[in-house]
Structure 1
Amino acid sequence: MLRDRVRLASVSAARAAGAFARGAAAPYHLMKSMAIAPPERLRIAPPDIRTTDSTVADQIYAGYFSFDGKTVQARGVSPFLVAAPSECWRRSLAGFSWLRHLQASDNRAALATAQELVADFLSLPKIPADDPAMEPAVVARRLLSFLSQSPTLLDGADADFYDAFMLALARNARLLWRALAGDGARGADRAFCAIALAEFAVCADTGRKIAPHVSRALSAELDRQILIDGGHVSRNPQVAVDLLLDLLPLRQVIAARGLQTPSAVLRAIDRMMPMLRMLQHGDGSLALFNGMGATALDRLASALAHEDTRGAPPVNAPYAGYQRMEAGDALVIVDAGGPPPFEFSLCAHAGCLSFEYSLGIERVVVNCG
């Protein structure tokens, strides 16, 4: 009892000291972030390996925006000006991940719609800091989406749109720099912010000055969040899938530029791939532990398709706290771990010794997710 109290007191003191140090350094990082200049050009555009859906493009072209179980019909009004039905809907809209569906469309009108919608967003007055669109994770998603879709968005664009787009890239990068330097981003969001900032540093011609600092920040987050056995410290399998879908394009774009990929990025990718296969049932879906919902099989397949070597899935992940037992077509996956650190426990369950059982492609015993 006394030992636990001492440990908690030490953790609290460390957090307080860290918060004080970050607060003291805030003016310095504010000044440093302002040095991130708008690019004159982008040297390369990263790929988006997430799958696309032409029906989503058709819906957006028709003025219907469906995210997170909510649908809004814009009726000729900018979707960024309508009342958001939920904060999750607003986050998805402002993250612009849906641009990939329009980019993949063969409909020239749909591509023009993508440019118009981005122009609508760029023309908005200053967005309040408490708007979900300004949350660090949403800003990171928006920066990644803008960079990956930049060839389409800038194709035939006039000078005003081009300048506004480049300025938006720099502003987003500044926000992420400050979020990483302070307490703006927490938990897994810090890794996504670092990935987005690293892509900006690689793709933008003005990113060279911040590249060393960003590389160190990204490496530190990956070493902190990806455990030795490949599990994410949150113990949520979905976080590992999402990280891979962003880390793999980053690795590709760094290689295409002829730059050296940080070893922490390579380690994280190599460790997470087998871990995800360990948590797969016979139907391809992942076990529902600690916030994992229904598996988007297309996204999981896109991530695992980049695995260089594919052996038998591991059966023991002591750091992540999962065990796998197989006998013929029978498979049991067991949660044998403790709670994750508080910072990463938003979706965690009190599920120690819970298990899932499947027989071939049939799920027999499952968790609620």
Structure 2
Amino acid sequence: MAQLRRKPVSSSGSKIKNPIAKALSKAKHSSFYHDLSLRGENPLRLLGTPKDIWSGSVTAGTQIVSGKIIAGGHVLKNPDNTQNLWSAGEIWKASNLSESWLEYLHSFGWLRDLNQAVDRDGAKRRAQKLVESWIDQNTQWGEISWRVDVVAERISNWLIYTPLILDTDDVIYRGRVLDIMARSARHLMKLSSDLPEGPDALKTLVGLIFAGLFIPGGDEWYREGVSLLKFTLGKEILADGGIRSRNPQEQLHLYMNLVLLIQSFQQVGRSVPEELKSAVSRMASNLKAIIQGDGKLPLFNGTTIHNHEDIYSCLLKSGQNDINLSSLEQSGFARIAKGKSIILFDVGPPAEVEMSRNCHSGTHSFEMTRGAHRLIVNCGDASFIDDTAGYDLRTSSRGSSAHSTLILNDQDSSTIREDGLIGRGVSRMESKSIHEDGHILVESEHDGYVDPYGYLHKRLIYMNETGEDIRGEDIIEQDISSKSTENIPYSVRFHLHPDISVTLSKAGEMVYLGLTNGETWQFRHRGGSLKVEDSVYFGDAGKISTCKQLVLSGGTQGSVTTILWSLKLEGI
């Protein structure tokens, strides 16, 4: 029996800055004295650059050359330009941008896509204009632009894509770029004693070490970064290779940067810390275990599918493709796989509050693929989608109802606070997997609805030895501490991929789900009333798709309410 706990919210927010702390931080880091402390000898050249082995999106890179800004397949809308083109000068002055957009812009993560553009000369010109205008407008402290993890990613990306941003005869521009890189590294060094929680800590250290390896005079940065990295890897990378934020996309990108870091150590003749080798190996094992049938990531906790990111390809390039699958036990996921069917089941609480800004309230949700075809899905993440209709799409996409799980009284199992972090809700989970004669049963229980309603949610998912017979059981059980007899409405949602065709039987008791490969799956249930409703899918980067969802609804009945459902391949 695996038990996972989340610290009570009241005692886990020590590193969340309140308004007064933010004001003090701004005053300190925007002061003349802090600026003075970042000055030093200007480097005249780099000692080398990390060798990038990862591919971006050719389509996105071409669009960036043309003047657009792309993130997660979505175009940043420019209200002053009908074609959504941005000049190098105006992008850094854009107002009303979400935190996700600001982080992405100021980290220069989009250089990976720009590096894939067919028009190489055009890509260089665009990159250099954007870097130069950033320096013109952002040398002073900004809450996002100079946040340590963003600074570190900017250093990493500028070093990795030096052939884009520094291939010029303009010595004044080159000097400014090298100077700001060195100042940024000094900024990281000064703040390295107070690292953020979660993946941001490792992002910060990767940037500091890259600076120490490739910027002249960076020996102290290198030593400090490596020393902290050895400790932080043990804290942030779980025993099964997962990460504490429970975001598969963050995990993949962090893995890719750590692989580049290993190659950079080898490139300059430095020994690779054993802690780093071990962490990367565990992460590869974990990533291999959460790969869906189409080779992409599952849509948990802020993840979006990027068509140019194939996990098997990443593992192959990093030399980790032959590694065994992780148990996923500490990560809070369960893999149920037989034949061509794969189910990934969320059996963990949300990330701790201080690292939950991208986390979803999707406990007990699951996704199912059949071969390369997605069948049951979560709705995905709407962070970069232009919210023209006035809806808070990002918050909606993070809510429990946007996931294939059970919801009580239309309330999230874990609350999403006004500051965007995950608050009270699921704090204790228990799960176990039973393997017998090729059959798999996973049982899990969470307490997210105990505080408001006095009920536990138990979910059981079974798969037979061929992967063609799936059965589920959702149990709403009164907690031992509760005496409530109130009837609470529930809904059990199964969001379907946009490619799935849906046909309701004449009697309305069964649904036929058609895959594009010709297979038909039968959905049956006992308990609750069945409806087919509209849904929306944010999973495919670059577009919003309409789709359907199956909804079983009813109300609690006494101390225990049970809803049974099944998915079977037609013809077995």
Q: Normalization by structure 1: what TM-score?
A: 0.82
Which of these residues, 128, 131, 153, is aligned with residue 165 of structure 2?
Answer: 153
Matches within 5 A, 1:104-115: 104=116, 105-115=118-128
Greater share of helix residues, 1 or 2? 1
Q: Which residue of 2 aligns with 1:221?
A: 232
Q: Which residue of 2 aligns with 1:41?
A: 45
Q: Distance in 1 between matches of 2:366 and 2:181?
A: 45
Q: Which residue of 1 aligns with 2:56?
A: 52
Render the CA deviation track for 1:199-225: whole Å, top value 9, x for unaligned: 111111211122111101222222111
Q: CA deviation at 1:78?
A: 1.5
Is residue 2:194 matched to residue 1:182? yes
Q: Which residue of 1 aligns with 2:185?
A: 173
Render the CA deviation track for 1:281-308: whole Å, top value 9, x for unaligned: 2111222223323355526355322343
Greater share of strand residues, 1 or 2? 2
Q: Which residue of 2 aligns with 1:71?
A: 77
Q: CA RMSD in A?
A: 3.3
Cα gap change, 1:136 to 1:307, in 2 (>3 Å)? same
Q: Which residue of 2 aligns with 1:250?
A: 261
Alpha-carbon contact 1:284-1:297 (below 8 Å) kept:
no
Deviates more, 1:30-39 or 1:66-75: 30-39
Q: Distance in 2 between matches of 1:288 and 1:251?
A: 28
Q: Normalization by structure 2: what TM-score?
A: 0.55
Alpha-carbon contact 1:103-1:114 (below 8 Å) kept:
no
Cα gap change, 1:315 to 1:328, in 2 (>3 Å)? farther
Q: Which residue of 2 aligns with 1:97?
A: 109
Q: Which residue of 2 aligns with 1:286?
A: 297
**1:305 aligned counterpart, secondary structure:** helix
Q: Which residue of 2 aligns with 1:4?
A: none
Q: Distance in 1 between matches of 2:341 and 2:53?
A: 32
Q: Distance in 2 between matches of 1:211 and 1:77?
A: 33
Matches within 5 A, 1:1-369: 34=38, 37-67=41-71, 68-72=74-78, 73=84, 78-84=89-95, 86-87=97-98, 88-104=100-116, 105-124=118-137, 126-130=139-143, 132-182=144-194, 185-298=196-309, 300-311=311-322, 314=325, 316-369=327-380
Q: Pick 1 or 2: higher relative contact order, CA cutoff 8 A, min separation 6.
A: 1
Q: CA deviation at 1:252?
A: 0.9
Alpha-carbon contact 1:333-1:357 (below 8 Å) kept:
yes
Deviates more, 1:72-81 or 1:158-167: 72-81
Alpha-carbon contact 1:289-1:349 (below 8 Å) kept:
yes
Alpha-carbon contact 1:38-1:206 (below 8 Å) kept:
no
Cα gap change, 1:167 to 1:129, in 2 (>3 Å)? same
Alpha-carbon contact 2:286-2:325 (below 8 Å) kept:
yes
Tell me the amino acid that sits aligned with residue 77 of structure 2: T
Alpha-carbon contact 1:33-1:177 (below 8 Å) kept:
no
How many residues are aligned here?
A: 352
Q: Please, which runs of 5 or more residues in structure 1 have no aligned partner?
A: 1-6
Q: CA deviation at 1:195?
A: 0.6
Query: Looking at CA atoms only, which structure, 1 or 2, has the larger radius of gyration?
Result: 2
Render the CA deviation track for 1:320-340: whole Å, top value 9, x for unaligned: 122222222222222222343
Cα gap change, 1:251 to 1:163, in 2 (>3 Å)? same
Cα gap change, 1:336 to 1:173, in 2 (>3 Å)? same
Q: CA deviation at 1:81?
A: 4.7
Q: CA deviation at 1:64?
A: 2.6
Q: Please, which runs of 5 or more residues in structure 2 have no aligned partner?
A: 1-6, 79-83, 381-572
Alpha-carbon contact 2:149-2:204 (below 8 Å) kept:
yes
Cα gap change, 1:102 to 1:282, in 2 (>3 Å)? closer
Render the CA deviation track for 1:226-276: whole Å, top value 9, x for unaligned: 101111112221121010121111111110101011222211110011111
**1:272 aligned counterpart, secondary structure:** helix
Alpha-carbon contact 1:251-1:261 (below 8 Å) kept:
yes
Q: Which residue of 2 aligns with 1:3?
A: none
